[in-house]
């Protein structure tokens, strides 16, 4: 896989700029992008999406193939490096605990394993001590990261608007 999507890319898309009732083509493209563009996510992200009991939980269940396992030895080893690093890097203990409870360290660990780019809407903030941010950890572990719009632009994805007949 070349690109691994963070939970927030799905959640913000659903809630804001790619609402499924209006932009169904985006969600169709996302399902198809697994093979065509090497875009995926990880099982831990799927687990977060399924908590919502909404369109995303249905989409995640229907597109199970889109979510890669993190049980391989290399990803597990990378995860341990990430966890060791955050507890030594000056973040508040609560921030570290919150970070390891979610999918974020697994996403970065899998990206390290696959040499993939993480797709997230978080922004780099090297002064953050109350929240461990994906871009901060990506930078530390030399993992590339971009947002959804950069992904679509890089892959030269275009969506067209079709007016419904009444």
Note whether 67 and 43 are within 8 A (CB).
yes
Per-residue model confidence as pLDDT tens digits over 64-107: 999 999 999 999 999 999 999 998 888 889 999 999 999 999 99
**Where are the domains positioned within the chain?**
3-154
Does the domain at residues 3-154 carry the CATH identifier 2.60.40.10? Answer: no
Express each pLDDT in 143-161 by its tens digit. Answer: 999 999 999 999 998 887 7
Residue 59 confidence (pLDDT): 95
Percentage of residues of the chain with pLDDT beyond 70: 98
Task: Answer whether 121's CB lies under 8 Å from 7's CB.
Answer: no
SS3 119: strand
Instruction: State the Cα–Cα distance between residues 156 and 95, nearest whole angstrom.
Output: 36
pLDDT in tens, 2-19: 999 999 999 999 999 899
Residue 120 in contact with residue 135, Cβ under 8 Å? yes
Q: What is the pLDDT of residue 165?
A: 66
pTM over 0.85, yes/no = yes
Confidence (pLDDT) at 1: 73
The span from the CA of 141 to the CA of 158, in Å, is 32
User: CA 153 to CA 137: how far, in whole Å?
Assistant: 24
CA distance 154 to 83: 31
Mean pLDDT of the chain: 92
Average pLDDT over residues 114-142: 93
């Amino acid at each position: 896989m070349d690109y691994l999507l963070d939970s927030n890319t799905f959640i913000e898309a659903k809630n804001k700029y790619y609402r499924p009732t209006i932009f169904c083509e985006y969600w169709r493209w996302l399902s198809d992008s697994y093979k065509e563009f090497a875009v995926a996510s990880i099982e831990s992200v799927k687990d977060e999406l399924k908590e919502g009991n909404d369109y995303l939980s249905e989409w995640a269940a229907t597109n199970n193939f889109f979510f890669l396992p993190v049980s391989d030895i290399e990803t597990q080893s990378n995860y341990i490096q990430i966890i060791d690093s955050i507890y030594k890097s000056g973040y508040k203990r609560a921030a570290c605990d919150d970070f390891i409870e979610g999918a974020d360290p697994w996403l970065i660990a899998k990206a390290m394993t696959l040499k993939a780019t993480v797709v997230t809407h978080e922004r780099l903030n090297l002064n953050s001590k109350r929240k461990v941010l994906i871009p901060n950890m990506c930078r530390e572990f030399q993992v590339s990261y971009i947002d959804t719009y950069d992904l679509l632009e890089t892959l030269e994805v275009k969506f067209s608007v079709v007016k419904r007949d009444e």
